[in-house]
Amino acid sequence: MKRVVAVLMVLGCVAIATERASAYLKLGSRVGTRTVTLNWKTFPIRYFVTNRAGGGVSAQQLQTAAGRAFGTWAAVPTAEVSSQFAGFTGNTPALNDGITTIGFVDRPDQDRVLGATNFLIDTVTGEIVESDIYLNSTFDWSVATSGETARFDVESIALHEIGHLQGLGHSALGETELRAGGRRVLGAEAVMFPIAFSAGTIEGRTLREDDIAGLSDIYPNAEYRRERGSISGTVLKGGRGVFGAHVTAFNPRTGKLVAGFTLTDAGAFVIGGLEPGPHVLRVEPLDDGDIESFFDLTLNVDTNFQVKFHDKLVVVPRGGGVNGVSISVVAK
Amino acid sequence: MLVVAALLLTVVPADAQFIGKPAPRAGTVEFSGGGLFHGGSDEPNVPANLTRNPTTGSGPLELFKSDVELKPAFGVEARVGVYINPKVSVEGGVQVAWPQLRASLTDDFENAPDVTATETLTSYVFSGSVLYHFGAPAKRSHPFLLAGAGHVRDLHDGNDLVETGFEYHGGGGMKWWLGKGRPKAGVRADVGVSVREGGYGTEDGRRIVPTASFSFAYLF
């Protein structure tokens, strides 16, 4: 089969969201009428680090922090991923040179973008051939253990970008407020939320349940298949499907939150990676980030409906799925 | 609690005596079946929290509150017992009840209307007990104390998920044997507590559930 490659770019983590990105919970490539999930087919993922300092952080410090971030993802107990530092390189990220590279790049034109990830993909199989991450050295960075005032934490942002590198899109599991100049995140329960916590914080170094579910959905191991379950259903408004509704599953026993979107015109959603047991479902419009941080703007995302809880507890089976959940919402 | 129950039960006067051969005796088999009630339990309240951006305040950002409780339930039970001697018997039984699990969802950060989300469990308890009967065997009413243990199977809505555990129970009650001559039929009332580990409930947690039942009994 002829291999077709394409370049895809995700603006990973932004200080304040204004830029466009194309991303879902899982990144996908359209092949005819179906979407194939982007993922790595061979492990470990071998990556290089650009031999260049940026924002007050040396290349060696970047490599150490990126190594910790790769290690955090590799430690997810229900997924199978691994990585290997291959060495320093003079090449810069975002260069389609066949090697996966992480490094600092001066991007003063992207004054609100902390970092971004791009891909070289096989558009037929969805295999990620190469992925590069750049951190914008226009910002001040830190690798201090407890963070550093007014400097963004390299490990936190690297953790987010490496999530993209592995095929994860953005999560909408967070709350924001609009301020002069853009949105500010008030709280989030996913490293893959598109807007970073404020400079000086290190909360982004810890994966949340939503991140773990997302990674495990792409690279499931036997434990994931055996122990986790899913909920699927539809969100309807006036009897018609709602596209782009944000559906959150909450486990009232553990407090864990995992979310997904309705991704068809029929309003269909699937939330995977859930622990067995009863779950609360909550539906809300995508109003805590710019829509383009999650979906292509050509898609008709419906945000005109009220937040709603489902009135049934939905029981997730072990190693299986519960289907046919139907949630009706009403216009604002 | 068991001591108090024993004191209360042992002062109940016997109202009549059997005529003829005392019953029950060693080897007598007792069947009983009837209705039961078991109390509910409050589960720990676990809010839906987001990790707060530290520059916007302290503590987690609460997306909404969740107050979970297992409601009291009615059910049915059946037991079979064998008397070791006129005072002591052992019995096994099964109980089935249908408690409702309710999660009250309030104080949503984005003002979603409050909702109580529910599901109904089918809760099975397979148990074994030892009973000690007070009073003379020839009397028609027998207070008793019992203690035992069992296996809990909580089957969730949809029948796709079972959560299992153990329970330990203790309590007491009264049996009244009816009719003239050597009695065959009677009624039985039980009260007690069941301490449950596993099943639906907090992980590694323990629930104390008050129980009561009323049964018809028959001796063979």
Summarised one tens digit per residue, pLDDT across range B34-66 is: 999 999 988 888 999 999 999 899 999 999 999
Task: Indicate whether A100 belongs to any domain.
Answer: yes
B158: chain A residues, CB-CB within 8 Å: 315, 317, 322
Say what the pLDDT of residue A285 is: 96
Chain A interface includes B56 (CB < 8 A): yes
Query: Which of the four pLDDT bands, split at 50, 70 and 90, describes residue B197?
Result: confident
Residues A281 and A143 in one domain: no
Write out pLDDT tens, residues A99-146.
Answer: 999 999 999 998 889 999 998 888 888 899 999 999 999 999 999 999
What CA–CA distance (Å, rounded) separates B203 from B102? 17
Q: Are residues A79 and A103 in the same domain?
A: yes
Res. B204 pLDDT band, cuts 50 70 90: low
Identify the helix (H) or strand (E) that includes residue A70: helix A59-74
Q: Residue A79: pLDDT above 50?
A: yes
CA-CA-CA-CA torsion sign (B104, B107, B112, B114): positive
* Residue A211 domain flag: yes
Nearest CA in chain A to B205: A253
Angle of CA points A16, A21, A25, to nearest 5°: 100
Per residue in B79-88, pLDDT tens? 999 999 989 9
Asked whether the predicted pLDDT for residue B1 surpasses 80, the reply is no
Mark whether A33 and A145 lie in a shared domain.
yes
Q: What is the mean pLDDT of chain A?
A: 89
Supply the mean pLDDT for chain B.
87
Q: Are residues A100 and A247 in the same domain?
A: no
Give the pLDDT mean for A6-30. Answer: 48
Q: What is the pLDDT of residues A84-94, one digit of tens each?
A: 999 999 999 97
Distance CA B153, CA B156 (A): 10
Full DSSP string of chain B: -HHHHHHHHHTSPP--B-SSS-SS-TT-EEEEEEEEEE--EEPP---EEEEE-GGG-SS-EEEEEEEEEEPPEEEEEEEEEEESSSSEEEEEEEEEE-PEEEEEEE--TT-PPPEEEEEE-EEEEEEEEEEEE-S-TTBSEEEEEEEEEEEEEEEPGGG--EEEEEEEEEEEEEEEE-SSSS--EEEEEEEEEEEEEESSSSTT-EEEEEEEEEEEEEE-
Give domain status of residue A281, yes or no.
Answer: yes
**Whole-angstrom Cα Rg for chain A:** 19
- Given B55, B161, B203, which is nearest A253 (Cβ)? B203
* Interface contact A202, partner B, CB < 8 A: no
Residue B9 pLDDT greater than 70, yes or no? no
Q: What integer is the mean pLDDT of A254-263?
A: 94
Confidence band, pLDDT 50/70/90 cuts, at residue B187: very high
| A252 lies in some domain | yes
Q: Is A184 in CB contact (< 8 Å) with chain B?
A: yes
Provide the pLDDT for residue B45: 87
Residues A194 and A249 in one domain: no
Give residue B24's pLDDT: 81
Which of A68-72, A167-171, B15-19 has the weakest average pLDDT?
B15-19
ipTM of the prediction: 0.90
B161 touches chain A (CB under 8 A): yes
Q: Which residues of A touch B122 (CB under 8 A)?
A: none
Q: How far is B76 from chain A (nearest CA, A)?
A: 25
A184, A272: one domain? no
User: Chain A within 8 Å of B42 (Cβ-Cβ)?
Assistant: no
What is the reported pTM?
0.87
> How many domains, chain A?
2
- Asked whether residue A222 is assigned to any structural domain, the reply reads no
A96: domain CATH number?
A: 3.40.390.10
Minimum Cα–Cα distance from B47: chain A residue = A255
Here the CATH number for the domain that contains residue A294 is 2.60.40.10
Cβ-nearest to B51 among A187, A248, A254:
A187
Q: If you search the block for the tokens 């003063």, which residue do you land on?
A: A108
Q: How far apart are CA A37 and CA B137, in angstroms?
A: 75
Spatial contact of A143 and A157, defined as CB atoms under 8 Å apart: no
Is B106 within 8 Å of chain A by CB? Answer: no
- Cβ of B117 within 8 Å of Cβ of A280? The answer is yes
What is the domain range of residue A52?
A: 5-215
A181 occurs within a structural domain = yes
**Percent share of chain A, pLDDT over 70:** 90
Residue A103 lies in a domain: yes
pLDDT at res. B181? 65
The verdict on residue A223 lying in a domain is: no
What is the per-residue pLDDT across B119-159, written as a single tens digit (0 to 9) for each? 999 999 999 999 999 987 677 889 999 999 999 999 998 88
Residue B134 near residue B142, CB atoms below 8 Å: yes
Domain ranges of chain B: 2-43+65-162+179-210
In whole angstroms, what is the distance from residue A253 CA to residue A274 CA?
12
Chain A 246-265, residues with CB within 8 Å of chain B CB atoms: 248, 250, 252-255, 257
Task: Kindly list the residues from chain B whose CB atom is less than 8 angstroms away from the CB atom of residue A278.
Answer: 101, 103, 119, 156
- Say whether B47 and A255 touch across the interface (CB within 8 A): yes
Identify the domain boundary among A215, A249, A274.
A215
Could you tell me if A150 and A274 lie in one domain?
no
pLDDT at B41: 85
Q: In the prediction, which pLDDT does B183 show?
A: 64
Contact A215, A166 (CB under 8 A): yes
Q: CA torsion angle for A242, A24, A191, A293 (degrees, to 10)?
A: -80
Name which of A41-45, A220-224, B28-32, B202-206 the model is least confident about: B202-206
Between residues B175 and B199, the one the model is more confident about: B175
Of the listed ranges A177-191, A318-332, B53-67, B69-83, the least confidently predicted one is A177-191
Say if residue B13's pLDDT is above 50.
no
